Amino acid sequence: MKQLLVLTDAITAPLYAPRMRYLVSNLAKTGWQCTVASEQADTDFVFPDCKHLRFVFYAGKHPWWDKCVWLLDKFVAIKERAFLRFVRKQTADKQFDYILCSAFHTFPLPTAAHLAKERHIPLIVDLRDIAEQWGETPYMQHPIRTPFKKLNHWLTKQYTAKTIRQRNKALAVADAITTVSPWHITCLQNLQIKGKALSNISLIYNGFDTQTFSPKDQKTSYFDITYTGKIYDFTLRNPQLLFQALGELRKENVLPADIRLRFYCENTIHPSLHHLAESYHIDDLLQTAAYVSKEQIPELLHQSSIILILTNKSTANGPHGIMTTKFFEALGVEKPVLCVRSDEECLAQVIHDTNAGLAATNTEDIKSFVLNKYREWQANGYTRQPIRNKQLFTRQYQARQFETLFSTLRHD
């Protein structure tokens, strides 16, 4: 029976680390024993089908103390050091065959590298995001802001460079690397770390769980275009092209009365969404609400006629390679996907290859797509998208890919 130690970052809403959560669950079904160590977030969520070690970095009684500790961590990485001590102590009497570290930033890559070296076992690094993919977008801005624009820009460059250096130290000792898009593969292959190019990099897409996300033809009273998930800001995920297209349909007097726009996302972005909708005179269509639980997502998708995926065009300054989990969930329920605006890159290619829907670059295509799907909904009471190669994007297939990768690595 193989023993796997999984290190990952905080398990947060709304998705609760689906990539690792489903991997651990599927590996358990084939006889693996998994231990997951993660930072504790503001949730009681516990990984199923494994031993879950939850690390609390700091929980001060005073906000000013929390800020001091947070600021200190940015300079000397005290959280990483504390996490390493925590995992060492919690797993001192346990033997592992492999360490898998899944990260969207840097934490906890240094801990994984230290433990793999100490225990002489293979390290697999799973990069869900990398700093280079964000380019000049606000996502990678340094968290300390000043009134001086040039100073903020300099801090961001230093912060990004430090993040990349820390990550590359872990990559240099990794026995294998996995990541989530062809763009990420190319970017990592072009890196030179200690004068050497990285090798043994594998593409393992995000995906959907077949037991959770499956087709269900459910008749509805409204034609719903639904978005679930984070938005951050409109630089990264911008619905403007859709709002503009619906506004044009209204001007042309062909916008059906029973269309609704439903956004389930962070509350802080709701005012911006309504302001944008008002500018195109479609605010009466828009419904905004907070995140829904992961248990509610499948039924919400079944009730939808179009699943909205928000991105933006990939440019020299980013973003790149964004393969949102929400797209793969739409594949699972076989609902038409409307990607706004098309990234004209990896996601658009997969949408085309799977026949999942439309990666839109202009309002005319959106208008045609929406009206075609509306006619389908009128005829049947629901929509269904014929998906190609769906089996290549399941969580179960991902688990087999990881198992195959593990089998190629040495272990004592």
pLDDT tens across 329-363, in order?
A: 999 999 999 999 999 999 999 999 999 999 999 99
Give burial (CB, 10 Å; 0-12/13-18/19+) of 315. Answer: middle
CA dihedral of residues 128, 215, 358, 139 (deg, nearest 10): -30
CA distance 215 to 382: 11
pLDDT at 151 (0 to 100): 78
pLDDT at 205 (0 to 100): 97
Q: What is the mean pLDDT of each run of 10 residues along the chain (412 residues)?
A: 94 82 95 94 76 81 68 78 96 97 93 97 96 74 66 76 90 96 96 87 97 97 96 89 98 97 96 98 97 93 98 86 94 98 96 98 98 98 98 97 94 57
pLDDT at 369 (0 to 100): 98
Q: 159 Cβ partners below 8 Å, 6+ apart?
A: 74, 140, 141, 142, 143
Q: What kind of architecture, by CATH, is found in domain 3-207+394-407?
A: 3-Layer(aba) Sandwich (3.40)
pLDDT at 144 (0 to 100): 60
pLDDT at 60 (0 to 100): 60
| pTM of the model as a whole | 0.90
pLDDT at 42 (0 to 100): 64
CA distance 369 to 367: 5
Q: What kind of architecture, by CATH, is found in domain 223-390?
A: 3-Layer(aba) Sandwich (3.40)
CA distance 33 to 151: 48
Q: In which residue ranges of the chain is CATH 3.40.50.2000 found?
A: 3-207+394-407, 223-390
CA distance 204 to 301: 24
